[in-house]
Structure 1
């Protein structure tokens, strides 16, 4: 390890740790995968022999060598874990969703400012190839004024999760928090905060006690954005459907990074983050009276861009790649969607 490297500790080594964080931290030139919190196991050492194993969060917090802590524990623990890290004076990255409530999020934002530590939330889907491609199309304005947008995150998973904490009927659990936070963050990045929303939240799996379906309509001044997810979509739908006054753009949800990481591939692998050509989005527009229908080359996905931003923020005091304020807005939408579904009425924002 070089002296300039930032020592990073993970708070867990489940899927989030070994798929979405450790591979990027380990390969980043300015970061050092220093430690991991595992209560009884030593899973991290199988792939990272030099990593230090901590048996408690407190052991991480009293280690002066740890400069950045990644809180990648279950949703309902994010607030308590993050608060302890901030109070210990260490920089922190929190997995999405940031917190369970807006009140918790706002408290942590202020606390980080008071303690002068970095606080960022891991909304990694901003660096998906499909989202980056859609953002490019919108930024170019070639669809004209938007009329209707749909963003999907669907699965076919009729059985309850073996991870029991994901099936507990408590606040912070369910697909709106787990999958919805991705879609909400993407919508807010593309269009900003809506003026109102209407939501339907439901559960269709046998014996399910948590939400596995949501349909959230965001109301903007002159167009609508629908965020949808169901665990009963066997036939894959497009991830992004955009209709504007000049035409449409349809794009599959085709980022390959998660699949490749689960296979054990590393972010420095050949052709990392490059979608198959077959997954290119379809653009159908009219330009100067000519109808044009063609496929659009996809952007390259790369979650390493997030950790590039974290490294720069710590070493050079630049802005974090995802602000805690942005992540708080996501929780505001989630809380409003829950209220809307319960009351079956439009909620003003």
Structure 2
């Protein structure tokens, strides 16, 4: 599958291109960026891969699929242009400002007969995959609740203004992880921390309480301005608990210049010092890290386009995540618990 990358900022350069390279059945066929500096970076990173000024030019070159990783406010028009051209699309998160806006993109893709998926790559995080394996083992007994905390000391990277904020940014990933892990949500109760910036009032932290249809509760929280850097997952069940303070191992590696294609077997595993602990009646034991594999998203996406596998993150699941984010914002602004309508 020949795939073009639209946008070569931090996301395109570090969180898409290296994982496209590592995926099976995918070729990086072109990069869209107008910035001379980013064109130079792309040429250094991917010699021989052509650069284009626009999505229109990339489509004219002949590609099977595109990834849209431009700023959020630009994505709708680009997704619609690619879909209208009959090209399959990966849209970065959040792929729309609201669930209702996202449904328009889903309808367009269905009408065009193309695959539209959302890049919720953090479903393939090492710590989340390890927690999923612990839950699947049944050793916690009846699962009661899961806590997910991700604090970042990155004030300079907070997307400002009413169309930005941490909830739509990292919140998209953290909520999607819990939906993937625990299933649909029936209600949402949330608190947002606000900061006044020149671009407008911006949410800079959140705490969200999710009641899942299974009866399990999950709690997700994050901050970006509080001078903390911590990733923690905890799970409580009738037979014990599991806890881990992990590292963002894949992000750290690619930002440090590593590529998964250079060591596919050794890629994406937390070091033993960061393994989680399972505590049950028999005692405590360390749980080795599962492998984090963001490139599996693209391998599965290519297989889905061929008709050989399910889509990795269908756009309808992206809509489900956005519906929870919409409810969280409403809950925080109105001071109430917001029910979630079942997906249709």
**TM-score using structure 1 length:** 0.90
Q: Does 1:53 align with 2:46?
A: no
Match of 1:117 in 2: 114
Q: Residue in 2 aligned with 1:189? A: 180
Q: Structure 1 residues 206 and 86, CA, compared in 2 at 3 Å: closer, same or farther? A: closer
Alignment of 1:141-160 (within 5 A): 141-157=138-154, 159-160=155-156
Residue 170 in structure 1 maps to residue 167 in structure 2: no
Alpha-carbon deviations, 1:299-349, whole Å to 9, x = none?
011111111101211234422111111111010001001111110001111
**CA–CA distance in 2 between the matches of 1:319 and 1:182?**
20
* Contact 1:254–1:275 under 8 Å retained in 2: yes
Match of 2:236 among 204, 219, 243: 243
CA offsets 1:23-48 (integer angstroms, 9 cap, x no match) = 12234452221111111321311111
Q: SS of the residue aligned with 2:221?
A: strand
Q: What is the CA distance between 1:249 and its match in structure 2?
A: 0.3
Give the SS at the match of 2:146: strand
1:135 aligned to 132, 135, 156, which one?
Answer: 132
Unaligned runs of 5+ in 1: 1-5
1:259 aligns with 2:252: yes
Change (3 A) 1:264 1:205: farther
1:270-349 equivalences under 5 Å are 270=263, 271-286=266-281, 291-349=282-340
1:137-183: per-residue Cα shift (whole Å, max 9, x none)? 112221122223210121123x343x8xx22x233x11101100111
CA RMSD of aligned residues (A): 1.8
Distance 1:205 1:143 in 2: 43
Q: Secondary structure at the match of 1:24?
A: helix
**What CA distance in whole angstroms lies between the structure 1 residues aligned with 2:140 and 2:226?**
28
Deviation at 1:95, TM superposition (A): 0.8
Q: Structure 1 residues 213, 235: closer, same or farther in 2, change over 3 A?
A: closer
| 2:205 corresponding residue in structure 1 | 213
CA, structure 1 residues 261+284, in 2 after alignment: closer, same or farther (shift >3 Å)?
same
Query: Corresponding residue for 2:10?
Result: 15
Contact persistence 1:255–1:301 (CA under 8 A): no
SS in 2 for 1:282: strand
Aligned residue pair count:
333
Query: CA 1:202–1:48 in 2, change beyond 3 Å: closer, same or farther?
Result: same
Match of 2:100 among 97, 103, 108: 103
Q: Following TM superposition, by how much is the alpha carbon of 1:19 offset from its aligned partner in structure 2, in angstroms?
A: 0.6
Residue segments in structure 2 that go unaligned for 5+ positions in a row: none
Cα 1:84–1:206 change in 2 (3 A) is: closer
Change (3 A) 1:324 1:44: same
| 2:29 aligned residue (24, 27, 34) | 34
* Contact 1:10–1:72, Cα closer than 8 Å, also in 2: yes
Alpha-carbon contact 1:129-1:254 (below 8 Å) kept: no
How far 1:206 sits from its partner (Å)? 7.0
Distance 2:142 2:2 in 1: 47
